[in-house]
Structure formats: C-alpha cells, structure tokens
Structure 1
Amino acid sequence: MNSSVSHIDINTATKVKAYYELLKPRLSFLVVFSSGFGYALANQSSINWINFFFFLVAGFLVSGSSVTINQVIEQKYDAIMKRTKNRPLPSSRITETEAIWFSLLTGIAGLGLMLVAANFLATALSLLSLILYAFVYTPLKRVGSIAVFVGAIPGALPPLIGWAAASGLLTYEAMIIFGIQFIWQFPHFWAIAWVSDEDYKKAGFKLLPGGGAKDLNTAINIMVYTLFLLPLGLLPTYFGLTGLTSGVVATVCGTLFLAQTFSLMKDTSNQKARRIMFGSFIYLPIVQITFLIDKL
C-alpha cells in the first residue's frame, strides 16, 4: 500500500515539474522583471503592493502561456535539437492535449488577473504580446531573420505593459524604454542564434541576418544594433525621466557591450558570440535597475 502511494506521489511530482518547465520559468521571470521595471518607473506615488504582486503573477502566467504554445507548435523540432530534446513535450512527460489545455488555462487566468490588477490597456498589450510571440514569431523562425524583428516586439513589450499598468497611458517615456529593449533584442537574439546555429539548422530555424552565416556580415549587424543602444540609453536622462547617473552607467555598459561586438568582428568564433550573449544578459538588468535607482 505504501509502495503504491509512493509511486503515485512520484508520478504527481514528475508531472508538476513538467508543467513548471513548460512555463520556461527563467524566461518568464525575466519578463516579470522587465514589466515590474516599467511599472515602478511609471509609478508617480506609493505603489499598491497587492495590485503590483498580482500584476506580476498575471505577467508570469501570460508569458508562460505564450511559451507553452510555442513548445506545442515546435515540439517536433525540439525533439531533434540537443538543447531542447528533453523538454516536457518531446520527452513525452506532457501530452500535446495537456499542454494545449495548460496554455489556455494559464493564458485566460493571466489575462483575467491582468484586467483586475491593472487595466484594459495593459491587458490588451499582454494579449498582443502573446499573439505575436506564439502565432507570428514562432512560425516565422523557419522563414528567415524577419522572425527576429517580429520577436523583438513581444520581447520589448513587458516594460511598456508595466508602464501602462501603472499609469494607464502610453507616453513618449514609455516608448523610450520600449525602444531600448527592442533594439537590445537584436544582438541578444543573434548571439544566441550564432552559438546555437548547428542545432537551429537541424530544425530549419533561420534567425541569423543576411545570408544566415556566422561571418563578418552577421558580426557587423550585431555591432550596428548594439551601437544604437548608446544614444538610446541617454534618452531617459535627456528627457528628465531619470538623472545623470543612469545616463553615465548606460553609456559605460553600452560601450563595454559594443567592445564585445568588435571582438566578434575580428574573430568570428562561437566563444566571442557567447560573450556577447552573456553580455546582453548583464546589460539590460543593470541599466534598468540603474534607471530605477536614479529615479528615486
């Protein structure tokens, strides 16, 4: 009897873990961080912590729904790539039907909670982000690098959603923080695509620009978009959204980030691309946290 109960407990724990993995928690927590950043930056008075908490939970659920749909659509491609073959669907820990129902439940719950905790504008933007990521960006990954442009939109929407949730408006300040995260997506995406190129080719994913090769042309594209981050990082200071300190920090971080792209242009290796990938992960949170501190 005890052995039977133990077996059921193990199966339940395995299933719960698989559902949690479907949410891609690391990615979804990054979405939550960015949306929380936008919310705090836009807030002009004391934060209602209860609303803020439920807003973050709503964002996590909507993000989880969109990445679950992504995994349903790409399950046969995930099965042939080394980095994704152990995901819940290709490893058969979750069935396609279970994943579809899970995406519906998390999506509806997230959007409903967003409407209650925030407002209609934030909810509409969240729905737009889900649709663009799951149903436009995902199939475009096998078409060409246009997928990166489309994917950069939902990727940059979280701070805009946060701003809308706190203020109910979309102002030029909101578009500035959207623009920074939008442009950041390009070196970030392309560095990942460079490092994972062999795996991506197995699935027919075409994310690198130009001819899709790991060459000087792609390295120049990465450099150009990283270069745009320098003036963009100064705009919050210029328009009085934050102080001088954040402008200095954004410039220093942007310059260090840019230096890595010049290294890639000299040596078009996976090692240099991996440094840009990790550099992109460091750049965005440091700059966003500095903006928040500087506002205070």
Structure 2
Amino acid sequence: MWRHSATLSFSSRLFYSSTNPNYFHYASAFSHFTPNGVVEPALSPYNRRFYSSSATPSPSPSPDSVIKLGLLADRSETFRPLTAKARDAIQLARHYGRCYWELSKARLSLLVVATSGTGYVLGSGGAVDLMGLCCTCAGTMMVAASANSLNQVFEIKNDAKMKRTRLRPLPSGRITVPHAVTWASTVGLAGTALLTSEANALAAGLAASNLILYAFVYTPLKQIHPVNTWVGAVVGAIPPLLGWAAASGQISLNSLILPAALYFWQIPHFMALAYLCRDDYAAGGYRMFSLADASGQRTAAVAFRNCLYLIPLGFIAYDWGLASGWFCVESSAITLAITAAAFSFYRDRTTQKARKMFYASLLYLPVFMTGLLFHRLTDDQECVADTSDSTFELSSSQDTAISLDDDQKKRRDFTAGSQARPPVAYASVAPFPFLPVPSYVGP
C-alpha cells in the first residue's frame, strides 16, 4: 500500500516536472532519491535519526506544496534579469567613478582644497562659518577637478608617451574625449556657481581665472617654454587667496603671506620632480627647465634660491599680526630644513639628493599651514593687544601732562580735541614694512 502511494506521488511529480522544467532545480534542495527510485524529503541530522528509528516513513510532499515551489521558481526567473541589470549598473558606476577620480587628479585637487580652506580660516577672523567653509572647499574642489580634466584633454598624446601617465583614462581609451570635456565643463560651471551663490563674486572670479590660467595658459606653455614652471606657481598660489576672499570679501596685506609661501615652495618642489623625471618629460615633449640643464647645477640653484625666499615669511606673519611668535620659530625651523636639503642637492646633484629635497618639500607645506592655523591671532586677541598698547600710551601721556603748566595743558587739550587722529598701524606702511611708523606732530 505504501509502495503504491509512493509510486503515485513520484509519477505525479514527473507529470508536474514536464510542465515546469525548473522543478527539479528547486525541488532538489528539498528532496533526494532513494536506491529504490522513490523521492524522499531531505532530512536534517536530527530528523534523519528519528526517521531511521521509526517504522513509518514520513509522507511525501503534497501537490499543493509542489505547486508553491513551482511558483517560487517562476518568480525567481523573472528577478534574474533585474539582478543582472543592477550588477551592470554598479560596474558602470564604478568604472566612470574611477575615471572621474583620475581625470580630476583627486589627490592634487585635495591639496588645492586644503590650501583654500586654510586661507578661509585665516580670513575669517575670530569666528569661522562652517557652512561657508564647506561650500568654499566644495566649489574649489569642483573647479580644480575641471582644470585638471581639461589639462589631460589637451595632453592626450603627450601622456601616451610617458610611462607614469600612459594609463590615464584618456590615453588608455577608458573614456572618450567628448565625455571628459562634458564632465570638466559641468563640474567647472557648478563649482563657480556654488562659489558665487554661497561666497562672493570675488572668490568665484579668482576660481574662474585660475581655471583659465591653468588649462589654457599653463598647459600649452609646458610644450613651448620653461617659464611654465613659474606660471604654474602662480596657479598654485591663488587658492589660499580664494579662500581668504570667500571669508572676508576682500584681499588684504595679510592675505598674501600664505600665497607667497605656496609660490616659493612650488619652485623647489617641482625642480626636484623635474630633475627626477627628466627622461619622462623629454619623451612626452615637455619643455622643462631641467631638460636644458644637463649638469643640474642651474636647476639646483633655482631650488635653493627659492628656499631662501621662504625664510622671512614666518617673521612677516608675526610682524603683521597674523600669527604669534611661536609660529615665527617653527616656520624658521622647517624652512631651514628644506633649505638644507636644497643646499645638499646643489652641492651633490644626484638622484638621491633630489629625492631627499622632494620629500622635504612634501613635509614643509602641511607643517607650515598647520602651524599658521594653530598659532594664528584672532580679532579678539589683536584687540586685546591694541587695548594694552593704547592703555600704556595713555598712562604715559598723563604722566607727561602733569609736568606741564596750566596754560600749556589747556592749549594741548584744545589742539588734541580739534585735530585728533587715529593711531597708524605698523602694517599701513606696506609695501615698505621696514620703514618707521609715521608720527603726527601737532603745531
């Protein structure tokens, strides 16, 4: 009797499997064949022990459960194409995301963002607007990504000849030129619009001018004349000025300290890189300063000279009230370190010395910016210093006035009341900061 019912159950499954070819694919997870050809349900170890000890076998699945399994199989078949499409979409997004990352030279763009953010904090005074800082950094990142992408569009053939650049998205064919131009134009316009709406027109103008200077002046000059290095240094000096302008809405004398540091820092940094990659630049067709200097003496001399220009910047930042005296000490120490590396390269022009100077330049910039942020003087601290100075001047003037007679005192008070003038700041004599402060002499 049991054998007859099991045979009927097996025949019913065969009948249903003829109408649904996916039945055995999904039913195999729930059943197995016995040596006698009867399909039995798959058992867990616990149930298997129970089944072997019992005399009555477990019943076979009902036709309703078989129908349910068939419906699940049909539904899974309909979801398979959707899963494949989702997988393709994810792979496509990863591909273009990687291409955009390389087109933007993301690490270089992040360095530009860091300098812009430092300029924003320095130009904010006492209180820093975090939302404005984030918008300024985002806009700077988009404009820098656009400039770097356009740079690679114009240098496809040159990059294809160089070992370190031939695997970039455009030379390797991973992305087309129209796609790269569309990407660069979109992020460039978006970044400029963000700076215009969230910062001010001055910051947006500096960003747009820097994009034009990098993509349409510096890039073609690389194949024409070695002066491209100095033009590129100007491009690198603008982002901190952009950040300062975004925070304060103007460009003041103190705002030029960090751009000056970036300008003079870029020369030894790039001279070391150009010396290390001379063969690569020659293969790519770039007119770098190091290619016309076989001995490397002029290249090392230019790097050493610009390191010397960095030495007084710490004192100027302290003297103009941008940072405390501790920054003057720290800046002098780190500048002397990079100067010593440049002098070592000047004396012994080898690849090892050039690489040492290159690493020293990589260390200099983050330490300089971090120290400037840590030791910066806010508006409140400057006001306290000014108040103490004015209090000292007031007390000394009172002591002097006591020694005068009444007539002279009255005449002095009358003159001071009619011709009173505000005190002149030391920085107001710029661009001649080493001249004495002008003093007003009454009649």
Query: Under a length normalisation based on structure 2, what TM-score does the superposition of the two structures give?
Result: 0.65
Which amino acid is the alignment partner of residue 125 of structure 1? L
Task: Please list the CA deviations of residues 162-221 of structure 1 after superposition, one character each: whole Å capped at 9, or x if unmatched.
Answer: 111111111111122211111111111111111111111001112225934351221111
Which amino acid is the alignment partner of residue 263 of structure 1? S
Which amino acid is the alignment partner of residue 39 of structure 1? Y
Superposed displacement of residue 5, structure 1: 4.4
Distance 1:118 1:201, change over 3 A: same
Q: How does 1:1-296 map to 2 (within 5 A)?
A: 1=81, 2-3=83-84, 5-208=86-289, 211-295=292-376
Query: Does the 8 Å contact 2:275/2:290 carry over to 1?
Result: no
| Structure 2, unpaired ranges of 5+ | 1-80, 378-443
Which amino acid is the alignment partner of residue 26 of structure 1? R
Distance 1:163 1:196, change over 3 A: same
Query: Does the 8 Å contact 2:278/2:290 carry over to 1?
Result: no
Distance 1:209 1:199, change over 3 A: closer
Aligned partner of residue 295 in structure 1, secondary structure: coil
Moved more, 218-227 or 9-18: 9-18
Superposed displacement of residue 11, structure 1: 2.9
Superposed displacement of residue 9, structure 1: 2.7
In structure 2, distance between residues paired with 1:30 and 1:17: 19
Which amino acid is the alignment partner of residue 358 of structure 2? M
Which structure has the higher relative contact order (CA within 8 Å, separation 6+)?
A: 1
Aligned partner of residue 310 in structure 2, secondary structure: helix
Distance 1:95 1:186, change over 3 A: same
Query: Does the 8 Å contact 1:176/1:232 carry over to 2?
Result: yes
Query: Does the 8 Å contact 2:278/2:291 carry over to 1?
Result: no
Query: Does the 8 Å contact 1:209/1:221 carry over to 2?
Result: no
Structure number, greater radius of gyration: 2
Aligned-residue Cα RMSD (Å) equals 1.5
Distance 1:177 1:202, change over 3 A: same
In structure 2, distance between residues paired with 1:241 and 1:190: 30
Query: Does the 8 Å contact 2:338/2:364 carry over to 1?
Result: yes
Aligned partner of residue 142 in structure 1, secondary structure: coil
Moved more, 70-79 or 17-26: 17-26
Task: Please list the CA deviations of residues 215-253 of structure 1 after superposition, one character each: whole Å capped at 9, or x if unmatched.
Answer: 122111110111111012321012111011111111100
Moved more, 10-19 or 141-150: 10-19
In structure 1, distance between residues paired with 2:227 and 2:88: 48
Superposed displacement of residue 154, structure 1: 1.1
Moved more, 265-274 or 125-134: 265-274
In structure 1, distance between residues paired with 2:181 and 2:265: 31
Superposed displacement of residue 4, structure 1: 5.5
In structure 1, distance between residues paired with 2:294 and 2:207: 34
Task: Please list the CA deviations of residues 105-130 of structure 1 after superposition, one character each: whole Å capped at 9, or x if unmatched.
Answer: 00000000011121111111111111
Which amino acid is the alignment partner of residue 115 of structure 1? T
Aligned partner of residue 162 in structure 2, secondary structure: coil
Count of residues paired in the alignment: 296
Task: Please list the CA deviations of residues 107-165 of structure 1 after superposition, one character each: whole Å capped at 9, or x if unmatched.
Answer: 00000001112111111111111111111001101122200111111111111101111
Which amino acid is the alignment partner of residue 173 of structure 1? N
Query: Does the 8 Å contact 2:290/2:296 carry over to 1?
Result: no
Which amino acid is the alignment partner of residue 110 of structure 1? G
Which amino acid is the alignment partner of residue 205 of structure 1? Y
Superposed displacement of residue 282, structure 1: 1.0
Q: When you count helix as a share of all residues, which structure comes out higher?
A: 1
In structure 2, distance between residues paired with 1:118 and 1:91: 38
Which amino acid is the alignment partner of residue 54 of structure 1? C
Which amino acid is the alignment partner of residue 347 of structure 2? K
In structure 1, distance between residues paired with 2:314 and 2:222: 29
